[in-house]
């Protein structure tokens, strides 16, 4: 196999007849993380700031040989495996499924399917092959390091009892099929019905936003949800059009404690960037109606932990905080019901609430949180 970037590992060809050589890799520097890519590599992998040393193989059999080499010669495993979707995906994924069943230790390696297009249509693959952690596209290369850090920790919790007591591990990762099925069914039914009923309200809000200020009607930005899955998050625009570029100017107003290291959240009381109509939409939570589209697409659930902006999610990749990403992203949740609109809140308190929900979530708990949400919708402070 040829080297495809200056950052790549040099990998000896393993195609064709067996030459009798037992070593396929020349050298694996300890300082680099290894990314195993199956298929034709993407040009974005050649970026100078790519933190990974990439091994590329043409097929699943070659990839499994490389994993064996890494284990037995260099005492390492890949930081992640990425399979590039192609026409032979059914047989390839079946090979991976059989492989992981016979190599339980390797089930903790993050596994992603890369595709150039058709992202939404491929979500069903994750249901049929549970070892797949996410379907990623070209945009994922920008956040791949943090995504791998979070997914690897989550998968270690699932795979190795040493990371969690057996009681908690059972509560977190088993007996969830029917609960998840009912939760998704409820999400689709309520989100679809909600969009139909609220469509006249949405049209009025869209017209008012357009009349008040220039700029887009909807605010769309990247957010990180369960397992650090990045998706486009929708809301009605409540701020001036260039609000994101003004973020540094208002950080001194942050209502969270002003620590400079560790997790970072930014929430501003009476944010000067919020328009008059935007303040009303936020205080009544009407700005969040478009998130029902995210629920229908499967990016979010009605109940879960709030999806985070990437600059916030990037600070939560440690073992201490990563558990908040075990839960699905949601429109409402424990934090909204118990703390929405309140200024007296620390970063630790916010994350502890997210982790608490991740550990205790159930369909019954979700129903209680949804029933409690209307009482938290109208807030006194513009945050």
3-state secondary structure 255-291: CCCCCCCCCCCCCECCCCCECHHHHHHHHCCHHHCCH
Beta bridge partners of 35: 54, 80
Q: What pLDDT is attached to residue 177?
A: 59
Which of 67-71, 160-164, 290-294 is most confident? Answer: 290-294
**What phi and psi values does residue 6 have, to the nearest 5 degrees?**
-70, -20
Considering 202-211, 218-227, 341-350, 360-369, the range whose residues carry the highest mean pLDDT is 202-211
| DSSP string covering 212-251 | H-SS-SEEEEEEE-GGG-EEEEEEE--B-TTGGGGGGGGG
Compute the CA torsion angle 357, 363, 365, 366 (nearest 10 deg): 80
**Tokens 């699905």 identify what position?**
328
| Confidence check: pLDDT of 14 > 90 | no
User: Residue 204's pLDDT is what?
Assistant: 96
Query: Of residues 246 and 213, which shows the higher confidence score?
Result: 213
Q: Taking residues 193-221, what's their average pLDDT?
A: 92
Confidence of residue 162 (pLDDT cuts 50, 70, 90): very low
Q: 166 vs 95, 169, 172, 173, CA distance in Å?
A: 30, 5, 10, 10
Residue 302 contacts residue 190 (beta carbons within 8 Å):
yes
Give backbone dihedrals phi and psi of 235, rounded to 5 degrees, phi first.
-145, 165
Residues 25-36, mean pLDDT to the nearest whole number: 61
55-100 pLDDT, tens digit each: 889 899 999 999 998 888 878 889 999 999 988 899 999 999 999 9
pLDDT value at residue 268: 58
Does 356 score more than 80 pLDDT?
yes
pLDDT at 2: 38
The answer on pLDDT for 48 being more than 50 is: no
pLDDT digits (tens, 9 = 90+) for 240-250: 876 666 566 55
Local confidence band at 336 (pLDDT 50, 70, 90 cut-offs)? confident
The helix/strand count (H/E) of the chain reads as: 12, 10
pLDDT at 98: 93
Cα–Cα distance for residue pair 33/51, rounded to 1 Å: 7
86's tokens: 């192609």
Asked if 236 and 310 count as a contact pair (C-beta separation under 8 A), the reply is: no
CA 197 to each of CA 191, 219, 278: distance values in angstroms, whole numbers, following the listed order: 10, 22, 22
Specify which of 198-202, 239-243, 265-269, 319-323 reaches the highest per-range mean pLDDT: 198-202
Percentage of the chain lying above the pLDDT 90 cut: 27
pLDDT at residue 172, as a whole number = 43
Mean per-residue pLDDT over the chain, rounded: 77
Per-residue pLDDT, 228: 81
Q: Quick one: pLDDT at residue 11?
A: 39
- Is residue 341 left, alpha or beta, with left meaning phi > 0 and alpha meaning psi from -120 to 50? left
Q: Which structural domains are found in the chain, ordered by start?
A: 33-167 (3.40.50.2300), 177-377 (no CATH)
Whether residue 67 contacts residue 40, with contact meaning beta carbons closer than 8 Å, is answered with no
Q: Which of 133-147, 170-184, 216-230, 369-383 has the highest mean pLDDT?
A: 216-230
Least confident of 107-116, 188-197, 217-226, 309-318: 309-318
pLDDT surpassing 60 at residue 170? no
Does the pLDDT at position 319 exceed 80? no
Decide if pLDDT at 1 tops 50: no
pLDDT for 362: 86
Task: Give the per-residue pLDDT at 290.
Answer: 96
Residue 231 reports pLDDT greater than 90: no
329 or 1, higher pLDDT: 329
């Amino acid at each position: 196999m040829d080297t495809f970037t200056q950052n790549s590992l040099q990998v000896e060809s393993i195609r064709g007849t067996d030459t009798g050589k037992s070593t396929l890799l020349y050298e694996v520097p300890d300082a680099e993380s290894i990314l195993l890519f199956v298929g034709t590599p993407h040009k974005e992998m050649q970026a100078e700031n790519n933190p990974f040393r990439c091994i590329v193989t043409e097929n699943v059999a070659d990839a499994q040989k490389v994993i064996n080499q890494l284990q037995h010669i260099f005492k390492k495993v890949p930081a992640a495996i990425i399979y590039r979707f192609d026409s032979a995906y059914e047989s390839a994924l079946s090979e991976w499924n059989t492989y992981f069943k016979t190599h339980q230790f390797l089930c903790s390696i993050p596994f992603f399917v890369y595709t150039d297009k058709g992202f939404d249509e491929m979500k069903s693959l994750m249901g049929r092959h549970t070892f797949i952690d996410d379907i990623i596209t070209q945009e994922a290369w920008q956040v791949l390091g943090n995504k791998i850090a979070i997914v690897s920790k989550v998968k270690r919790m699932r795979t190795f009892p040493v990371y969690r007591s057996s009681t908690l591990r059972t509560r977190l990762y088993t007996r969830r099929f029917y609960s998840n099925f009912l939760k998704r069914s409820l999400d689709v039914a309520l989100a679809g019905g909600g969009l139909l009923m609220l469509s006249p309200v949405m049209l009025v809000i869209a017209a008012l936003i357009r009349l008040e200020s220039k700029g887009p009607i909807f605010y769309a930005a990247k957010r990180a949800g369960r397992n650090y899955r990045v998706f486009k998050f929708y809301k009605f625009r409540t701020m001036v059009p260039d609000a994101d570029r003004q973020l540094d100017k208002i950080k001194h107003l942050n209502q969270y404690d002003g620590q400079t290291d560790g997790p970072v959240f930014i929430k501003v009381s009476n944010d000067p960037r919020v328009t008059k109509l935007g303040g009303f939409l936020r205080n009544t939570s009407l700005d969040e109606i478009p998130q029902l589209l995210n629920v229908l697409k499967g990016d979010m659930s009605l109940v879960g932990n709030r999806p985070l902006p990437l600059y916030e999610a990037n600070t939560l990749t440690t073992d201490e905080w990563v558990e908040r990403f075990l839960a699905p992203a949601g429109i409402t949740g424990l934090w909204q019901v118990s703390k929405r609109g309140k200024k007296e809140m620390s970063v630790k308190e916010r994350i502890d609430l997210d982790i608490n929900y991740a550990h205790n979530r159930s369909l019954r708990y979700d129903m209680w949180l949804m029933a409690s949400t209307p009482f938290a919708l109208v807030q006194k402070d513009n945050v």
